[in-house]
Amino acid sequence: MSLEPLDLTKIDSHAENIYEAIVVLSNRARQINEELKIRLNQELEAFTPRSDSEEEVELNPEQTRISIEFEKMAKPTQKAVEDLLGDKISYRYKEE
């Protein structure tokens, strides 16, 4: 996967300042990561071995396929940046 430079002025235009935008991006990336973890665990749960011994665990090809599929997905940070630049994120301050 190649790295692409990110124009910070584009990100800065979606928030009051760049620091606020970075906080919004990091919070969104955490949400996406948690959603992916839950989804991956749900899909792999069906293939959990039911043996008592750890030495007897066999590698299931379907588990490998699912894991590779998840590794090829966009990273949470990349997805969060796309969401912010596409105006798919709305945020607000907590009322005190």
Q: Where are the domains of the chain?
A: 8-47+60-85
The mean per-residue pLDDT over the stretch 53-66 comes to 73
* Better-scored residue on pLDDT, 47 or 13: 13
pLDDT at residue 62 in the model? 86
Output 57 or 59, whichever has higher pLDDT. 59
The 10s digit of each residue's pLDDT in 1-10 is 577 888 989 9
Mean pLDDT along residues 71-87: 93
- CA-CA distance, 94 to 84, in Å (whole number)? 19
Say what the pTM is. Answer: 0.79
Annotate 9-78 with three-state secondary structure: HHHHCCCCCHHHHHHHHHHHHHHHHHHHHHHHHHHHHCCCCCCCCHHHCCCCHHHHHHHHHHHHCCCHHH
Closest CA to 84 of 6, 1, 3: 6
